[in-house]
Structures are given as C-alpha cells and as structure tokens.
Amino acid sequence: MKYIFKIFRFDPEKDKEPYFQEYEYDFLPSISILEALITIRDEVDSSLSFRYSCRGAVCGSCGMIINGNPDLACRVKLETLYPDEIVIEPLANFEILKDLIVDMGPFWKAYREIRPYLHTKNKPPEKEHRISEKAMEKIYPFVNCILCACCYSACPVVSKDENYLGPAALAKLYRFVKDPRDHRPYSFLKRINTQEGAWGCHTIFKCVEACPKEVRPVDGIEGLRRKLIIEKIKRLLRFRK
Amino acid sequence: MVKCDILIIGGGLAGLSAALKIPQELDTIVISKVHPLRSHSGAAQGGLNAALANHPEGKHDSWELHAFDTIKGSDYLADQNAVELMCKEAIPTIYELEHLGAPFSRFPDGTIAQRPFGGGEFPRTCYAADRTGLVLLHTLYEQCIRRNVKFLDEWLVSKLVIKNNRCLGVIAIELASGKVVPIKAKAVIFATGGYGRVYLRTTNAYINQGSGIGIAYRAGIPLKDMEFVQFHPTSLHRTNILITEGARGEGGYLINKEGRRFMEDYAPHAMELAPRDIVARAIQKEIEEGRGINDEYVYLDLRHLGAEKIMKRLPGIREIALNFAGIDPIEAPIPIQPAQHYSMGGIDVNEKCETVVPGVYAAGECACVSVHGANRLGGNSLLETIVFGKIAGREASKYVREGYIDFKSDRELNESAKEIEEKIKVWMSRTSGTRAHELLNKLKAITTEKVGIFRNGKDLSYALETIRQLREDYKKAYLGSPNLKFSQELINIIEFELMLDLAEIITLGALNRTETRGSHYRRDFKERNDKEWLKHTIVIYTDKGPKISYKEVIITKYKPAKREY
C-alpha cells in the first residue's frame, strides 16, 4: 500500500531552518514506523538520521512524534494510523542534533539530579533484604519506565521551564522513595521540594497519555508531594518538642 | 587523542559490571555505540540462575548441581573449572545485585523468588517478573551514575590497535560528528555482546552486529567455538521479538497445528523445559513436517495459567503479544518460531577474562570462556555477564597497576586513525557500486537458510562460497550520502566487513565439525563424537583467511555422558 511520509529534517550546520521532506513508498500496512523508516533510509535517502535499537519497545531509543503523538516508532504500526499520510517529528522540548535525533542532555541531567540509585542506611544483610512482594508491587509500575522521554516531550511544564525536572526523573525518584530498602535523608529531597521539582507539575496528565509503558508519572509525582508534606509535618513536630 | 587507563567497550551488563569493579583512581571510560540504557541486555526477560535454594522444591539445590546442569546442558563442551567458578559466584552475585537495588520478585517469605527454567533440575532462576534484564541494566547504570563513571555515548569502536603483542588502544568514531578519534588505553575490555544481526531471524536488537568480536579477531585475537549459535525456541512470529523461556517456566505449553503438546515426542520427561537446542529443533521439525500453522509457526499456549498469573509474572510478554501481534495471551495462544538468540562462541578468554594479548580482556556474550559450551542454559547469560564482567574489571585493574609498562604509542594510533579516514574517503569518493545494507540482506538470507538450526556439509559449503563472493562485492562498497553526522550507513559499511568475517568463521567451524553437539546439528553427522570432537574450535585471522586449530576442553569431575531429558 502506498504511504506518504512527511519527515522532519534538520542539520543545524547546513540548514537555515528545519523542513519536512516527503517520501512516497509502498509498505505492508502491518509493519512498524521504525521498519518503514529503516526502509526509507536504506532504499531512498541514506542521509536520514534517527535512533533505534531493540525494536521491541524496551530500550527506549526510538521515541519520536508520530502524527502529533509522542510514541516509540517500533511499536506503532502503519495500519493503526489514519490517513495514509504520516508525519514524523523529533521529540519536542529538546534541541535538535540532526533530523529525528535530539540532544537528550537535559533529560539525563534531570535524571542525575534526583540521585537515581538505592540509598540504604545500614550495612546490607548477609543474604537478601526480606521484603514482601506486596511492598514491591507499589514500585513495579515505576520500575517499568524505560526512560524513552516520551513523557518529557509531552509535558507542558517542561516546555515552559527548562529547569523543571520533568515526569520521568520524578517518577524514577518515587520508585526509590517507595522502595522499602531505601532510606534517603530529607536532604536528598530538597531539590524536588520546589516549583522545579514535585510542585511544578500542573497535573495535566499529558505524561500519562504519552507513556508507552503505562507508567503514570503523575501518580509518582503526587506520591512525592505526599511524602514531602509528611516530612514537613514530621519536622514541625520535632521542632515543637 | 582521548587517553585513559581502562577502556570498556560496551555499556551493557558486562561492561557496567566491569566498570563498577575498577577502583575510582583508575581513569576509566565506558564507550558505547548507544546510550548504555539502550543496550541489548535490557531486553533479557526471564532471569538469572543461582542455587539460592529459596524455592520450596529447591531446598536441596547447590552450586554443584547448578554446575552439573550447565555442563550437561553444554553437551560437555564447557570448561568445567569456569562453570564451577560461575555457579559458585552466582549466589553472592545475586545478593550483591539485590543490595544495589535490583527489584527482584519475591516469595511469600520475602526471599528472592525463583522459577524453573530449561535444563535445570531445580527452580533456580531468580527474576523480576519478565523484565529482569531491564531492571539489572538500570540498577548497574544507577550505580555507575553514583560513582561518576565516565561514558562516551554513541561512539563506534572500529579498530583495536596492538603492536608487539601489546594493547595500545582503539580507533573510534564519534557518531554525532563522524570524526575518527584515536583512544589510548592501557587496557581494553570487550563487552560488546553478540552478533545476532548476522542472521535474518534473530531476537537480537538492531545494534547487535557483532563488530566487537570482529575487531578483536582482525587484531589477531583468536575466537573460540563460533559454530555454536543458539536458536531460541520461542520468538514472536514475524518480528522475532523474544518471548521468554520463563513463559514455559511458569507452565506454558507448546502445541502444534493438531493441538498436541508435541514435546512429548522429543523430551518426554522435561517436555517444554528441555534445553533450548532440543526445543528449538523440535519446533523446527514440527514446522518442516507440516504440523506448524501456515508452515511457519507453532503456538505457545499460556491460557491455562489464568489472567492473574499472566499479569503478575509475565506482564511484559502480554504487552509484547498485544503490541506486536495483536494477541492477548490470556485469551489466545501466541504464534512463535525459533530465531537466532545467542552466541556461545566468542573471543577466546580464560576464566580470568584474559585474551592472548596482555591488557585485552573480554566478558559477556562477546567472550567465550567457555561456560556454555555447545548450548547455553536459559538464565546463565545474565549471570555470566555479571560474574565475568566483575572479573574482567578486577583483572584489568590489576594489570594496569602491576603489569603495565608504558611506551610510546601515539604514532601507531594516529596512523591507524588515518587508515580508517582514508577508507571512509574511498567509500565517499565512489558514486556507484554496492551498498552495505544490500550486501547484509544477502548475507542474512544465507546464514538463516544454510547455517541455521539444521545443517549439512553441502549447505555449509554453499554458504561459504556465497560469503566469499559477498566479500568480493564489498570491495566495491560506497556511501550514498556524504553527510557523516549520525550516519547509520557509515556504521553499517564499517561493521559489514566484520559481519562477513563472523559469518565465515561460523560456517567454516560448522563445516569442519563433523558431529552433532548441542546447538550444532549436522544432518549428515547426527551423533556426538567425543573421541574426535570433544575439543574447542579456535580460529585465528591471517591475510590468507581464517586459520583453524583446536584446544582441549577442561574437565574436572563431570565425565561426558549421554544427554537425555
């Protein structure tokens, strides 16, 4: 079946401004956007650049905007899109490095800032920590995050405030805060007790809509807010004593 | 020129695991073709083996039994000292991962949950639902962030430079600019994964083109047992995305067109949980003999497990089936077919991850210690990446501190970089000829058809001839676009030559080995032949082509016996 792809093109060194290039090609409707892009690059225009790796929606490389929606190119099939004209753009809220490849620098910076690692208090036990599956189930939805940045691209707060940490980093932090093994001190949470952290979210739920892994970052952000309020009350009580 | 003490090539589990064992005062860089979290380790699903004895049915498990299962699974080609080391280390390694934050699934008593896997006597595969690779990759990367490990993301290493049997460093290409950059390193650790994309049907990511193994080979480092290629029994029909062995571990059935659990004809005792070589062959045979569906696939049926078990233990499988096949495994069976999955062979190393060149190490799938022999058991590859990644990191550190003698290497490195620049210029100067992706499509078709699950001398010879013809065609290769920024075409044209090398070595090893052992099945030599073939294949690069020799298998206490399941 004939498809028309309108693909965002930009090489900051060569082009004055971005433009859309059209490619017409016969594809099986059952293939993915990623397979189509690879075919276009191989058969039509080898200068086209985009990221990809696993093609199974688990590595998080191929986030892009497909007909207006951020998604992983590998998991969107041509036949699910209507009409047969497909518009492909790079993820929003990022600088363009080339074509569909964006500079993920700010995204990884936010990730680093939340201290994305387990912080235990005591020496680890001889064997494993004994924890219940029920306690772990609370973090599983957030463990599922593959850091593809689709949510970051969809977030209206990120688009206005480049210092806002964004949904993925905050959801990742919540994964640790809720982990029964984690005992990070309050000082670790100061960075997010701000408008550029957990309080910046406008709960518009764009991130939930955009997530290809059903992570629901907003739930994590709300959880962090509850945690911050509880911490505040605890400190007030301690102060009174 | 970039300089460092230790350069780790590859940011998957083996690479990150190595990085975490190197003392912080040594200047270490992890260089990777992709951002480390995009590495293929993250696609691993089912789990990793360790005789923790947490499972009620596994109270009598021990690392010795794990070692025995691994050796039997390997069809007795594994080096037994290395297997023993890995299985013993498995237990503290799992606890260490748990302490670092890995969110393993739990048993009701709060211990790490374990599930049965193919070829294991007891349920000893520790898992995090069906995203074990993902959580381990994230956990190790998180620890690297904590320790401020240095990364060079999106750089392709294209050459290893060795002089007088000494490691000088590598030549790499910064993909963002297309610039060729020499990197001086006192020690180099290969952690570059497998070569699945040499095959048409593979569970591997697009990035798994195997160039790391190829680079080591071209630099004169021997490869071992490359003819042993694992085909995973259950990949999703058409896209070949992995459907974990854990699905059968949780109780899934394999059924043919007649609705029959055909494994009873092949492994009446172990059934669906026989080792992968046996199950993959059984499925392929069912399909070839007309008992597949549309002559292309059979079914993996999970329906009897019930919605709750599927949602809790196999949520990722359900997501894959829904997204990529439009099927909900709660309601319908999953169409599956075997596909290339793993490379038992690789860069020849000993149990310290040392190659024949001082300062050059390898760990994980790109290496062959060998702990998997002729067939790897499910759950042993994640384990191998972490156990041997750590060893490689430790040994490389020791070498840099105690064994390394500095000498001038800038000139050699710069010259090597120039050679690659010249090569690129030639590819750019041509306006016609052959294109790497076309050649690769031809190569993949041949390997899948002629060097697949069932092999014979005639097919292998034919494949070898075709591969050699493709090498001639490659001499006329050219780049269609002059823009080298983020150029996948540039990556492909560089890696294709190395993929040809690997395909040639796999085929040659398979042609020479006139027996059937593990994953290597010869229709013209159907029996295992210990008298002549209980030995490792070693291949060395020469100007005239690959040179084959053989090496003893190390046997400690497990005598080769007939393998029945």
CATH of the domain at B301: 3.90.700.10
Domain positions in chain A are: 2-102, 105-240
What's the whole-number mean pLDDT along residues B121-141?
Answer: 97
CA dist A223 and A175 (Å) reads 10
Residue B505 belongs to a domain:
yes
Q: Do A133 and B242 touch (CB under 8 A)?
A: no
Quote the pLDDT of residue B406.
Answer: 83
CA dist B543 and B161 (Å) reads 17
B276 is catalytic: yes
Cα angle B525, B232, A60; round to 5: 150
- Report residue B145's pLDDT band, with 50, 70 and 90 as the boundaries: very high
Helix (H, G, I), strand (E, B) or coil at B515: coil
Identify all chain B residues contacting A46, using CB atoms and an 8 Å cutoff.
Answer: 435, 479-481, 487-489
Please name the residues in contact with B83: beta carbons below 8 A apart, sequence gap of 6 or more.
B67, B70, B71, B74, B371
* Parallel/antiparallel/unpaired status of strands B334-343 and B298-301: antiparallel
φ, ψ of residue A22 in degrees (nearest 5): -100, 135
**Which of the following is catalytic: B248, B276, B313, B522?**
B276
DSSP-assigned letter for residue B554: P
Residue B397 belongs to a domain:
no
Average per-residue pLDDT for chain A? 96
CA dist A30 and A33 (Å) reads 10
φ, ψ of residue B414 in degrees (nearest 5): -65, -40
CATH number of A2-102: 3.10.20.30
What's the whole-number mean pLDDT along residues B58-82?
Answer: 98
In this complex, is the C-beta atom of B306 within 8 Å of any C-beta atom belonging to chain A?
A: no
CA distances from B366 to B9, B20, B346, B379 (A): 11, 19, 5, 17
Residue B491 belongs to a domain:
yes
- Domain tally for chain B? 2
In this complex, is the C-beta atom of B150 within 8 Å of any C-beta atom belonging to chain A?
A: no
CA distances from B469 to B244, B410, B462, B463, B500 (A): 37, 37, 11, 10, 10
- Report residue B384's pLDDT band, with 50, 70 and 90 as the boundaries: very high
Give the strand order in the sheet containing B334-343: B229-236, B334-343, B298-301, B253-255
Q: Chain B closest CA to A10's CA: distance in Å? A: 11
- Which of A47, A58, A60 lies nearest to residue B481, judging by beta carbons? A47
Q: What pLDDT digit, counting tens, does each position of B411-441 carry?
A: 999 999 999 999 999 999 999 999 999 999 9
B424-438 exposure pattern, b = at least 16 Cβ within 10 A, e = fewer:
beebeeeeeebbbbe
Q: Do A128 and B98 touch (CB under 8 A)?
A: yes
- Which of A11, A46, A130 lies nearest to residue B485, judging by beta carbons? A11
Q: What pLDDT digit, counting tens, does each position of B246-276 carry?
A: 999 999 999 999 999 999 999 999 999 999 9
* Tokens encoding B47: 């789990």
Quote the percentage of chain A above a pLDDT of 90: 93
Q: Chain B closest CA to A32's CA: distance in Å? A: 9
Q: Of B338, B373, B389, which residue constitutes the final position of a domain?
A: B338
Q: What is the ipTM of this complex?
A: 0.97
CB B244 within 8 A of CB B314: yes
pLDDT higher than 70, residue B224: yes
Q: Do B109 and A130 touch (CB under 8 A)?
A: yes
CB A64 within 8 A of CB A16: no
Quote the pLDDT of residue A169.
Answer: 98
In this complex, is the C-beta atom of B487 within 8 Å of any C-beta atom belonging to chain A?
A: yes
* Tokens encoding A24: 């017409």
Tokens 């040594």 -> residue: B26
Best A58, A103, A108, A146 member to test B by mutation, with max B CBs in 10 Å, is: A58
* Tokens encoding A70: 């951020």
Average per-residue pLDDT for chain B? 97
pLDDT higher than 90, residue B230: yes
- Which of A13, A42, A117 lies nearest to residue B145, judging by beta carbons? A117
Residue B194 burial class via C-beta count within 10 angstroms: exposed 0-12, middle 13-18, buried 19 and up: buried
Q: How many CA atoms lie within 13 A of B248 on its CB side?
A: 29
Per-residue pLDDT of chain A (241 residues; tens, 9 = 90+): 999 999 999 999 999 999 999 999 999 999 999 999 999 999 999 999 999 999 999 999 999 999 999 999 999 999 999 878 899 999 999 999 999 999 999 999 999 999 999 999 889 999 999 999 999 999 999 999 999 999 999 999 999 999 999 999 999 999 999 999 999 999 999 999 999 999 999 999 999 999 999 999 999 999 999 999 999 998 888 877 6
Is the bond preceding residue B549 a cis peptide, omega within 30 degrees? no
Residue B470: CATH number of its domain: 1.20.58.100
CB B257 within 8 A of CB B292: yes
Please name the residues in contact with B68: beta carbons below 8 A apart, sequence gap of 6 or more.
B121, B558
**CB B247: neighbour CB atoms within 10 A?**
28
Q: Do B489 and A46 touch (CB under 8 A)?
A: yes
Helix (H, G, I), strand (E, B) or coil at B181: strand
Residue B8 burial class via C-beta count within 10 angstroms: exposed 0-12, middle 13-18, buried 19 and up: buried
Cα angle B354, B356, B360; round to 5: 55
pLDDT higher than 90, residue B408: no
* Tokens encoding B549: 């020799």
Q: How many CA atoms lie within 13 A of A94 on its CB side?
A: 30
pLDDT higher than 70, residue B481: yes
Q: Any bridge partners for residue A19, and if so which?
A: A9
Identify all chain B residues contacting A55, using CB atoms and an 8 Å cutoff.
Answer: 205-206, 239, 241
CA dist B27 and B186 (Å) reads 10
User: Which chain A residue has its CA at the smallest distance from B478's CA?
Assistant: A46
Q: Do B142 and A117 touch (CB under 8 A)?
A: yes
Q: Beta-strand (E) ranges in B34-153? A: 48-49, 114-115, 125-126, 150-153
Q: Of B321, B338, B355, which residue constitutes the final position of a domain?
A: B338
Where in the sequence is the domain holding B308, given as residue range(s)?
Answer: 235-338
What is the interface size between A and B, counted as CB pairs within 8 Å?
150
CB B513 within 8 A of CB B457: no
What's the whole-number mean pLDDT along residues B285-314?
Answer: 97
Quote the distance between the C-alpha of residue A35 and its chain's center: 22
Q: What pLDDT digit, counting tens, does each position of A37-74 carry?
A: 999 999 999 999 999 999 999 999 999 999 999 999 99
CB A217 within 8 A of CB A168: yes
Amino acid at B65: L
In this complex, is the C-beta atom of B401 within 8 Å of any C-beta atom belonging to chain A?
A: no
Quote the pLDDT of residue A134.
Answer: 96
Quote the pLDDT of residue A241.
Answer: 62
Quote the distance between the C-alpha of residue B531 and its chain's center: 29
Q: Of B276, B308, B338, which residue constitutes the final position of a domain?
A: B338
Q: Any bridge partners for residue B31, and if so which?
A: B9, B152
Residue B426 belongs to a domain:
yes
Q: What pLDDT digit, counting tens, does each position of B166-180 carry?
A: 999 999 999 999 999
Best CATH choice for the domain A105-240 from the list 1.10.1060.10, 1.10.940.10, 3.40.50.300, 3.40.50.1110: 1.10.1060.10
CA dist B51 and B114 (Å) reads 9
Please name the residues in contact with B394: beta carbons below 8 A apart, sequence gap of 6 or more.
B21, B22
Q: Do A98 and B43 touch (CB under 8 A)?
A: no
Please name the residues in contact with B361: beta carbons below 8 A apart, sequence gap of 6 or more.
B18, B187, B188, B189, B190, B349, B353, B354, B355, B392, B395, B396
Q: Which residue has the higher pLDDT, B404 or B548?
A: B548
**CB B287: neighbour CB atoms within 10 A?**
20
Amino acid at B476: K
* Tokens encoding B354: 């040392």
Question: Of B414, B265, B442, B444, which is closest to residue B339 (Cα–Cα)?
Answer: B444
Quote the percentage of chain B above a pLDDT of 70: 100
User: Which chain B residue has its CA at the smallest distance from A13's CA?
Assistant: B485
In this complex, is the C-beta atom of B261 within 8 Å of any C-beta atom belonging to chain A?
A: no
CB B187 within 8 A of CB B167: yes
CA dist B510 and B533 (Å) reads 12
Identify all chain A residues contacting B39, using CB atoms and an 8 Å cutoff.
Answer: 53, 59
Quote the pLDDT of residue B403.
Answer: 85
- Report residue B327's pLDDT band, with 50, 70 and 90 as the boundaries: very high
Interhelix angle for B211-218 vs B488-512, to 10°? Answer: 70
